[in-house]
Amino acid sequence: MTIFRISSPIQEGLLQVSKWIKVQVLLDQEEIVDLFKQLDPFYLVAVSKPVKEQSALLAQNDFLQVYLEYVQLLKKSKFVQGSYFRECFSCAMTRSKEVFYAMPVSEKRLLIKPVLPVIQMQMHQFLFSFTEKIFYPMVLGQNTVSWGIQFSYPQFYQDPKTKEITRVIKKDLFPNTELFALLMKWVRQFTIPTPFLVGEERINATIRIGKKCMSWIHSHPQLQQLGIKVLCLD
């Protein structure tokens, strides 16, 4: 029995969504465990590349183990290997497996594609411009800072057949809307916009940090390299 039904874009149409709500957050390992407990039940689906059928779903515990490795490196002031963590963190979070189908791309590999909005997860890196004094999220390249995960969810969906555009707030039509609302509620309660200290100047960023990260964030190797600190608030 297959995990996802076999289909194709010709049969399903292309997923068209817009106006993504995005939140970038660095969490301590205890915090992401608590987040997953609050959101459960949900599935983590591999959507970034073709996979074998048995690898299409990623167990929560496996994901959390990789995230633990990620945080432990930062705590020890060690640089993370972007490609290793990027592959694991690039997945989709969903309440329902029914919003996906599998498209065969080879004899043994499938590309898993959504037909309704899902929560997109990506490894997050940011760049700080010392001339503009602005933090730019989701930037790759030199002098970037690895900073947890970006969670994204769209606000509008276009039906591939009727072309009707619908707001994604309708929970009866979009099973992941409630899941994203719970995620955002947790983020607002247990994280804060990060108060960075660049030289003598405090610069608040929309990039968020878990409150339990404050005890070790000074060890972050890329912040040390750039001479940027996080202002730990009482």
Give per-residue pLDDT as tens, 115-145.
999 999 999 999 999 999 999 999 988 889 9
pLDDT tens-digit series, residues 41-78: 999 999 989 999 889 999 999 999 999 999 999 999 99
Q: Is the pLDDT of residue 103 over 60?
A: yes
**What's the confidence (pLDDT) of residue 233?**
66
Confidence at 234, pLDDT banded by 50, 70, 90: low
Domain ranges of the chain: 15-191
Cα–chain center distance at 173:
23
Q: Is the pLDDT of residue 219 over 80?
A: yes
Angstrom distance (rounded) from CA 230 to CA 61:
30
pLDDT mean over 88-103? 95
Contact 187, 210 (CB under 8 A): no
**What's the confidence (pLDDT) of residue 141?**
82
Question: What token pair was written down for 209?
Answer: 């940090």
Angstrom distance (rounded) from CA 182 to CA 177:
9
